[in-house]
Amino acid sequence: MIKVLDKHFIIDTKSLTYIMHVNSVGYLIHDYFGDHIEVKDVTALGLKEGFAKGTSVVVDEDIDPNFSANNQLLEYSFTQKGDYREPAIILRNNSRGYTFDFRYHEYKIVKPQDIEILPMPHDLDDELIIVLKEANLDIYVELHYYISNKHDVLVKNVVFRNEDKEEITLEKIASLQFDLINKDYELVNLNGNWISETHATSQKIHPGIYINDSKTGNSSNKHNPFFMIKTSDTKNDYGEAYSFNLMYSGNHQEVVELNIFGNLHIQTGINPFLFSYNVKQGEKFITPFALMTYSSKGTNVLGQRMHDFINDCVVNKNFGHCLRPVVINNWEGTYFNFNEVKLLNIARTASKFGVELFVLDDGWFSNRNDDFHGLGDYDVNKKKLPSGLKGLAKKINKLGMKFGLWFEPESINIESKLYKAHPEYAIAQDGVKPSRERHQLLLNLAKKEVQDYIIENVNNTLKSANIEYVKWDMNRDISDIPNKGKEAGEFYHNYMLGLYRVIREITKQNPTVLFENCASGGNRLDLGMMHYFPQTWASDCSDSYERISIQGGLYLGYPQSCISCHVSHKSNHQTLRKTPYSSKFNTAAFGVLGYELMLNELTKVEKEEIKNQIAFYKKHRELLQYGDFYTIKEKKYEGDGATWMIQSKDHKEAIFGVFNGIQSTRPHEFVLKGFNFLEGKQYSFEVLNQPHDLKLFGNLVNMILPIHVNADGWLIQTVSKFKTMEMETTKWTVDGALLNSGLILKSEWAGNGYSENSRVLADFGSRLYYVKVEE
Ligand code: GLA
């Protein structure tokens, strides 16, 4: 609900309140964002700076000689009026240069309308628009605030409107500013690179400016737009924290600035790097939407608030709460080297295991037998697929699975028919040899004819066969931007507007197709893409131990229903680390499950294991994809373990994941502590049975065998294909209060003690525990 009281704007979400007011000078001052409050006396709210501190420029001495903008909590910061912190907006025109004077003009409360050109949250209930106007020109900055009554997320964006004769150039325009008083806050960002995306890093905020950004043209695998601030004593289940995200897939910038008086100044929006946008009379510039939320009960509640909002209001409506299918993808099994026979062999095994969707990855078109050729052309390679996509899809459907297809529509190889016909479609600057990444260039999506080419070709392929899923890949960063002169600064944003048009049209015309976003893994994992494509392939790294860091970081701000996680071969291709299939599944189960290996080449016991995994996942899929995610213990350093939990919203059911790092020789007794179980209710507590590989114990098997065997010899190798070793049993009935206080698990293997009473984990071993209330 949004109400106005004594020039104060009070926005109530489900359980939070946001307050700001217009002061005598016409500046919009931020007063409060936190747990719900009732306001009787507005004078008690906000910062009380009754004089202009030190060397301060006073905005308008005639109205208020004590008001300097430099140390205020402001809703939006401008330049040239004494606010020397990072400005939220920088404008320029010929007659005024950089000097403008924006003050409060009017407000409106309206019903939100979808703006179409940019990804916007849906199912929003109310919108408050506060309009600031330049004192003598017809130019306006509108601050928009949106809420959904069912959630605790505030959405903001900004519209710049030019009704003046003169063209204005925007050199920066942030989507969100949030000022508050520092409480010994720490900043948490998601940093990474290819195959090591979204590791959460935390640092104390010091006086000065910290910038988290992307300049690659994508939201990037280096610095994700999600970030969080929390007090230094905030924990998963205790203390104050705020989180922020931007619904944008291009260059972004997040600013965290702390001044010497303890005033914290936060912004997020399009990166001003190589950005300048010309707005003519009658035109407006709409910024991407930004999200923020708050929790006084720790970071798990904070994450859950974002997750719920994303599932309900960000993700493509057609898939918001859909159960996501279990996938088999051929990439790491075959790479480019496949034909129909090979694919069907994998598919047949997968269908027997209960897999629901077969995804044909890169290499199905033109002469794409390596990554030098074919991107841009979408004619099926009949040598590999003699019955075409239609025939293959039919055969896959006959096996009881859906058929999905990989595309990389934004890219082009020089070795392609498209490049020969239309070299001008590729991004390049006249007179400059364009640089390549993965041997490819990008198509210029800022051009309408290129957008139309992609829309038409992807649609034609989708019509050509029963394709029910698309993995939309994009495997490079932008370089060599083509625009010249004063349009040069518009390119990055126009690329994004072009991309959004393309994927809006394609998803509209194919409303039942499930799209998965991919950019060499998580190189463009953001809420903008999630709005159209409900799932994202989070990383090309499928090593289960690395995945704890990647997924652990992501779940601070993104729901597990949107994150694709694949079980790949036990010798991981990215890290060359061997981890058991149990651990690969146990991490992947905390997301959207898939497999990416030659399932038909597994041993008998491995096949049995994977069949059981899929059955377990499907049985608990709703809980795993849409339950509340809790970090119980995060992985803090390489070698460390982690514990996660997903609990149903009614607290009657949960799954714990306990992940070991490097095996300790003095393992601590493990206390498994959950949250929010119903006190006084009895729960069954059971471990998922995942027997050990016989080879785990190496030569130690000789301790229990009557004859000596060579652990690396053929006998053990052969027997291990058919036989496993039992793991410990755990099946207890426990009070919810005990789960909340902490249940002591069976002691861990400590150089000895293999029996049904010890937990043998070894390096990177793990367990899943299923908990359900006994009715
Ligand atoms: C990217 C993707 C992979 C795979 C390959 C195919 O790297 O992230 O999953 O699809 O492209 O070329």
The best mutation among 473, 474, 563, 597 to test binding of ligand 1, ranked by most ligand atoms within 8 Å of the C-beta, falls on: 473
Average pLDDT for 159-176: 98
If you measure from the C-alpha of residue 573 to the centroid of ligand 1, how many angstroms do you get, rounded to a whole number?
13
The alpha carbon of 448 is separated from its chain's Cα centroid by a whole number of angstroms, namely: 29
If you measure from the C-alpha of residue 452 to the centroid of ligand 1, how many angstroms do you get, rounded to a whole number?
24
Instruction: Find out whether the beta carbon of 406 lies less than 6 Å from any atom of ligand 1.
Output: yes
Q: Per-residue b/e over 738-753, b at no fewer than 16 CB within 10 Å?
A: bbeeebebbebbeeee
The minimum-distance atom of ligand 1 relative to the CA of 540 is 8
Percent of all residues in the chain with a pLDDT value above 90, rounded to a whole number: 94
707: confidence class by pLDDT, cuts 50, 70, 90: confident
711: confidence class by pLDDT, cuts 50, 70, 90: confident
The best mutation among 193, 330, 331, 359 to test binding of ligand 1, ranked by most ligand atoms within 8 Å of the C-beta, falls on: 331
Instruction: Find out whether the beta carbon of 521 lies less than 6 Å from any atom of ligand 1.
Output: yes
pLDDT at 731 over 90: yes
Q: How many Cα neighbours within 13 Å face the side chain of 621?
A: 15
Say what the pLDDT of residue 349 is.
97
The best mutation among 475, 523, 529, 550 to test binding of ligand 1, ranked by most ligand atoms within 8 Å of the C-beta, falls on: 475
The residue whose CA has the least distance to atom 8 of ligand 1 is 520
If you measure from the C-alpha of residue 645 to the centroid of ligand 1, how many angstroms do you get, rounded to a whole number?
30
Nearest-Å Rg of the Cα atoms of the chain is 28
In order of 377, 499, 553, 767, the CA distances from 410 in angstroms are: 11, 8, 28, 41
The alpha carbon of 628 is separated from its chain's Cα centroid by a whole number of angstroms, namely: 16
Instruction: Find out whether the beta carbon of 332 lies less than 6 Å from any atom of ligand 1.
Output: no
Q: Residues 510-523: pLDDT tens digits?
A: 999 999 999 999 99
Q: How far apart are CA 170 and CA 156, in angstroms?
A: 19
If you measure from the C-alpha of residue 735 to the centroid of ligand 1, how many angstroms do you get, rounded to a whole number?
46
The minimum-distance atom of ligand 1 relative to the CA of 361 is 10
If you measure from the C-alpha of residue 732 to the centroid of ligand 1, how many angstroms do you get, rounded to a whole number?
44
Instruction: Find out whether the beta carbon of 374 lies less than 6 Å from any atom of ligand 1.
Output: no
* Strands 327-329 vs 592-596: parallel, antiparallel or unpaired: parallel
If you measure from the C-alpha of residue 362 to the centroid of ligand 1, how many angstroms do you get, rounded to a whole number?
7
Say what the pLDDT of residue 589 is.
98
- Opening angle at CA 595, ends 663 and 694, nearest 5: 40
The residue whose CA has the least distance to atom 9 of ligand 1 is 540
701: confidence class by pLDDT, cuts 50, 70, 90: confident
3-state secondary structure of 565: strand
Q: Residues 65-81: pLDDT tens digits?
A: 999 999 999 999 999 99
pLDDT at 27 over 90: yes
Say what the pLDDT of residue 641 is.
97
The residue whose CA has the least distance to atom 2 of ligand 1 is 520
The best mutation among 470, 518, 565 to test binding of ligand 1, ranked by most ligand atoms within 8 Å of the C-beta, falls on: 518
pLDDT at 703 over 90: no
Say what the pLDDT of residue 742 is.
97
pLDDT at 320 over 90: no
The alpha carbon of 657 is separated from its chain's Cα centroid by a whole number of angstroms, namely: 21
Q: Residues 85-128: pLDDT tens digits?
A: 999 999 999 999 999 999 999 999 999 999 999 999 999 999 99
| Torsion sign (Cα): 177, 182, 185, 191 | positive
Q: Per-residue b/e over 636-665, b at no fewer than 16 CB within 10 Å?
A: eeeeebbbbbbbbeebbbbbbbbbbbebee
If you measure from the C-alpha of residue 336 to the centroid of ligand 1, how many angstroms do you get, rounded to a whole number?
11
For residue 325, what are its two tokens?
């299918």
* Number of neighbouring beta carbons within 10 Å of residue 430: 6
The residue whose CA has the least distance to atom 6 of ligand 1 is 362
pLDDT at 272 over 90: yes
> Which residues are known to be catalytic?
473, 540
pLDDT at 12 over 90: yes
Contact 471, 406 (CB under 8 A): yes
> Rounded to 5, what percent of the chain is helix, strand, coil?
25, 30, 45
Average pLDDT for 268-274: 98
The minimum-distance atom of ligand 1 relative to the CA of 471 is 10
In order of 545, 701, 702, 709, 726, the CA distances from 706 in angstroms are: 36, 10, 8, 9, 19
The minimum-distance atom of ligand 1 relative to the CA of 518 is 8
Contact 403, 360 (CB under 8 A): yes
49: confidence class by pLDDT, cuts 50, 70, 90: confident
Say what the pLDDT of residue 702 is.
85
Q: How far apart are CA 147 and CA 111, in angstroms?
A: 10
Contact 198, 553 (CB under 8 A): yes
For residue 623, what are its two tokens?
């809980």
Say what the pLDDT of residue 339 is.
97
Say what the pLDDT of residue 6 is.
81
Q: How far apart are CA 535 and CA 514, in angstroms?
A: 8
If you measure from the C-alpha of residue 327 to the centroid of ligand 1, how many angstroms do you get, rounded to a whole number?
15
The residue whose CA has the least distance to atom 12 of ligand 1 is 362
If you measure from the C-alpha of residue 520 to the centroid of ligand 1, how many angstroms do you get, rounded to a whole number?
6
Longest dimension (CA), the chain: 99
Say what the pLDDT of residue 705 is.
81
* Number of neighbouring beta carbons within 10 Å of residue 347: 26
Instruction: Find out whether the beta carbon of 331 lies less than 6 Å from any atom of ligand 1.
Output: yes
Say what the pLDDT of residue 706 is.
84
Average pLDDT for 594-620: 97
Percent of all residues in the chain with a pLDDT value above 70, rounded to a whole number: 100
Backbone angles phi, psi at 224, to 5 degrees: -70, 150
Q: Residues 618-652: pLDDT tens digits?
A: 999 999 999 999 999 999 999 999 999 999 999 99
For residue 725, what are its two tokens?
């070793």
Q: Residues 229-246: pLDDT tens digits?
A: 999 999 999 999 999 999
Instruction: Find out whether the beta carbon of 520 lies less than 6 Å from any atom of ligand 1.
Output: yes
The minimum-distance atom of ligand 1 relative to the CA of 519 is 8
Instruction: Find out whether the beta carbon of 518 lies less than 6 Å from any atom of ligand 1.
Output: yes
Instruction: Find out whether the beta carbon of 473 lies less than 6 Å from any atom of ligand 1.
Output: yes
Backbone angles phi, psi at 682, to 5 degrees: -90, 135
3-state secondary structure of 392: helix
404: confidence class by pLDDT, cuts 50, 70, 90: very high
pLDDT at 493 over 90: yes
Instruction: Find out whether the beta carbon of 685 lies less than 6 Å from any atom of ligand 1.
Output: no
The minimum-distance atom of ligand 1 relative to the CA of 596 is 9
If you measure from the C-alpha of residue 603 to the centroid of ligand 1, how many angstroms do you get, rounded to a whole number?
27
Instruction: Find out whether the beta carbon of 749 lies less than 6 Å from any atom of ligand 1.
Output: no
Residues in the chain: 775
The minimum-distance atom of ligand 1 relative to the CA of 520 is 8
50: confidence class by pLDDT, cuts 50, 70, 90: confident
Q: Bridge-partner residues for 126, per DSSP?
A: 147
704: confidence class by pLDDT, cuts 50, 70, 90: confident
- The full DSSP string for 711-757 is TTSHHHHHHHHH-EE-----EEEEEHHHHHH-EEPPPB-SSS--STT
If you measure from the C-alpha of residue 473 to the centroid of ligand 1, how many angstroms do you get, rounded to a whole number?
7
